[in-house]
């Protein structure tokens, strides 16, 4: 509300004051329905376990690390519902009925057990190959495609989540998973989720965009990639290691904050694996006309 000019007439002043009070009342009503603070508190569980085959420290092993950030209390919403949503999206639907600690321990136990099974299957297959090699000459063995590795591979897994936005009835968080099963390269993936704090449901593209949004967003995504990498053409992007950029589409893997929407494209989707996973930011100013009226994104865009 602007400052009143000196010398203003009493009647006009009275009308403006009444209008200001009405505006303030309406604005407060809106603010109370769309509060900035979600009043959700978080905790973190950290687990690191290494298991050597046959419990022999000289043999290959699996190494699994989990860092799980999850909601533990709230003065306004059902935190149990929120926690189940975090568990489900971080560990998978088979864990969604478990408490946070149970889910973490269950995931680690399952990873170790799967490693044991893979090692046992490898041992069985190598035994079969050794039996076959016993029937072959040295020359035939050298030419054979059935080569043996002396020991089974070591496995590595890292799983973590991080809250990137926690305001105005939304929690946006990202799950990062990195694993290696004996190769030279670790495989990384990023999964993004936006949760409606009130009911714990996931916010989807269809919830926030009008029909036909995908075609309009395609051009904005390409423009963002060009700007990020300081180039002017798709051909120049391709020279940097991107591919199929002309076919790039919204991939449902997004985050929201009070500035705009952020899409993550995992390595290998539209770029060489040697490149970092592309993060595409599009401000609300560029997509305001695409937003569903009264959606959570629409409200954030009009803050």
Which strands make up the sheet holding 170-180, listed edge to edge?
A: 40-52, 61-74, 155-167, 170-180, 187-196
Q: Are residues 211 and 198 in the same domain?
A: no
Q: Are residues 88 and 181 in the same domain?
A: yes
Q: Are residues 91 and 148 in the same domain?
A: yes
The 10 Å Cβ neighbour count of residue 267 is 18
β-strands 155-167, 61-74 pairing? parallel
pTM (two decimals) = 0.81
Tens-digit pLDDT string for the chain (303 aa): 444 333 433 333 333 333 333 333 344 434 445 578 999 999 999 999 999 999 999 999 999 999 999 999 998 889 999 999 999 999 999 999 999 999 999 999 999 999 999 999 988 877 555 555 555 555 555 555 545 555 788 999 999 999 999 999 999 999 999 999 887 778 999 999 999 998 999 999 999 999 999 999 999 999 999 999 999 999 999 999 999 999 999 999 999 999 999 999 999 899 998 888 999 999 999 999 999 999 999 999 998
CA dihedral sign of residues 89, 51, 105, 43: negative
Q: Are residues 208 and 195 in the same domain?
A: no
Domain endpoint, select from 172, 203, 234: 203
CATH number at residue 125: 3.30.565.40
Q: Are residues 179 and 210 in the same domain?
A: no
Tokens 């496995």 correspond to 155
Q: How far is Cα of residue 9 from the mean position of the Cα atoms in its chain?
A: 58
Q: Are residues 242 and 130 in the same domain?
A: no
CA distance 129 to 126: 5
The domain total for the chain is 3
Tokens 């085959």 correspond to 53
Q: Are residues 199 and 75 in the same domain?
A: yes
Q: Are residues 150 and 248 in the same domain?
A: no
Residue 24's domain comprises 8-32
Q: Are residues 275 and 199 in the same domain?
A: no
Q: Are residues 222 and 194 in the same domain?
A: no
Q: Are residues 109 and 150 in the same domain?
A: yes
């Amino acid at each position: 509300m602007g400052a009143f000019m000196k010398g203003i007439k009493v009647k006009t002043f009275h009308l403006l004051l009444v209008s200001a009070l009405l505006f303030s009342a309406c604005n407060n009503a809106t603010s109370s329905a769309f509060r900035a603070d979600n009043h959700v508190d978080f905790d973190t569980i950290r687990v690191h376990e290494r298991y050597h085959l046959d419990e022999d420290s000289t043999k290959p092993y699996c190494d699994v690390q989990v860092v799980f950030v999850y909601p533990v209390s709230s003065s306004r919403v059902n935190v149990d519902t929120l926690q189940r949503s975090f568990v489900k999206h971080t560990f998978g639907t088979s864990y969604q009925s478990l408490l946070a600690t149970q889910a973490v321990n269950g995931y680690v136990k399952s990873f170790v057990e799967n490693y044991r099974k893979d090692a046992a299957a490898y041992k069985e297959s190598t035994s079969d190959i050794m039996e076959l090699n016993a029937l072959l000459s040295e020359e035939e063995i050298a030419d054979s495609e059935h080569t043996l590795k002396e020991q089974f591979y070591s496995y590595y897994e890292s799983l973590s989540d991080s809250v990137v936005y926690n305001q105005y009835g939304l929690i946006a968080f990202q799950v990062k998973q990195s694993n290696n099963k004996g190769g030279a390269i670790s495989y990384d993936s990023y999964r993004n989720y936006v949760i409606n704090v009130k009911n714990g449901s996931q916010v989807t593209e269809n919830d926030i965009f009008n029909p036909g949004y995908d075609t309009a967003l395609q051009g904005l995504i390409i423009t963002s990639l060009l700007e990020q990498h300081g180039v002017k053409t798709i051909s120049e992007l391709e020279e940097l290691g991107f591919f199929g950029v002309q076919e790039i589409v919204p991939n449902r893997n997004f985050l929201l904050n009070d500035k705009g929407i952020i899409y993550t494209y995992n390595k290998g989707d539209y770029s060489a694996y040697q490149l970092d996973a592309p993060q595409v930011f599009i401000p609300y100013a560029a997509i305001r006309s695409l937003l569903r009226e009264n959606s959570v994104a629409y409200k954030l865009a009009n803050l």
